[in-house]
């Protein structure tokens, strides 16, 4: 997953080693640079924060998962998404101790919101699920919530077969699929209504003018009356 032939790769590997060996909250950038044997000045140019390191780790995981996915031509999209996410957990498995340390360090930096959502965007793409437009944004956000929940289960799942993780993931995906189907139906109905109403009002106006039902402006009774003093 990580190419350690480059300074960036050595830093990523060192960060995982440091996190596995002690609390990530107590690990400094200088600790990571020392473990990677990279000058602190070069460390500063490559990664200005620990959040930047995590963001790059997310991208490295994304690349590995995408390279491993082999789509079956007739595979159901939900089943394929299940396989994609389980492949992600397989990629992460060698680094579970480090990831536990990172997860226990506290709430994620807001700077990681973009990379985290981008990861889920690519997981949906790998499963052949559309991520464009408002509906796509909803799918990405929904999957991010599912993944965060299942990730917590995976961290505590010590079964080599990951039975507990698979059961929770399958249940959450089925629930989300039903919810999205309902939302898609509501969105489709709203779109049809938004398209139909202006057309209906236009036809109604045309019919009123054709049948002589348009209201003529009333004359001013005062202006039209004769002046009794004239």
Please check whether residue 7 is in contact with residue 16, taking contact to mean a CB–CB distance below 8 angstroms.
no
Q: 151 CB contacts (<8 Å, ≥6 apart)? A: 103
Q: If you compute the radius of gyration of the chain from its CA atoms, what whole number of angstroms results?
A: 29
- The four Cα atoms 81, 69, 141, 48 give a dihedral, to 10 degrees, of 160
Residue by residue, pLDDT tens for the chain (230 residues) are 898 999 999 999 999 999 999 999 999 999 999 999 999 999 999 999 999 999 999 999 999 999 999 876 778 899 999 999 999 999 999 999 999 999 998 766 788 999 999 999 999 999 999 999 988 999 999 999 999 999 999 999 999 999 999 999 999 999 988 876 655 544 444 445 445 555 545 565 666 566 665 445 555 554 444 455 54
Angle, CA of 37, 41 and 45, to the nearest 5° = 105
- Token pair for residue 135? 């509906």
Return the CATH superfamily for domain 7-190: Tetracycline Repressor, domain 2 (1.10.357.10)
Residue in this structure with the two tokens 């949906």, named with its chain if needed: 124
| Residue 101 CA to its chain's centroid (Å) | 23
Q: Is the pTM of the predicted complex or chain greater than 0.85?
A: no
- Rounded to whole angstroms, the Cα distance separating 178 from 196 reads 27
């Amino acid at each position: 997953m990580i190419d350690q032939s480059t300074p960036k790769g050595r830093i990523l590997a060192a960060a995982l080693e440091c996190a596995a060996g002690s609390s990530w909250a107590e690990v400094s950038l200088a600790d990571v640079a020392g473990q990677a044997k990279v000058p602190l000045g070069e460390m500063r140019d490559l990664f200005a924060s620990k959040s930047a390191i995590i963001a790059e780790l997310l991208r490295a995981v994304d690349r590995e998962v995408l390279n491993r996915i082999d789509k079956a031509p007739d595979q159901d999209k939900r089943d394929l998404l299940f396989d994609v996410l389980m492949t992600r957990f397989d990629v992460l498995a060698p680094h579970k101790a480090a990831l536990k340390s990172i997860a226990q360090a506290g709430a994620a930096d807001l700077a990681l919101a973009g990379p985290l959502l981008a990861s889920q965007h690519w997981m949906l793409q790998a499963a052949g699920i559309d991520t464009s437009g408002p509906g796509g944004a909803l799918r990405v956000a929904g999957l991010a919530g599912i993944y965060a929940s299942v990730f917590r289960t995976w961290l505590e799942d010590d079964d080599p077969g990951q039975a507990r993780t698979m059961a929770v993931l399958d249940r959450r995906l089925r629930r989300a699929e039903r919810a999205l189907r309902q939302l898609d139906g509501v969105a489709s109905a709203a779109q049809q209504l938004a398209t139909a109403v202006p057309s209906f009002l236009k036809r109604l106006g045309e019919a009123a003018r054709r049948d002589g039902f348009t209201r003529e402006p009333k004359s001013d009774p005062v202006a039209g009356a004769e002046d009794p003093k004239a």
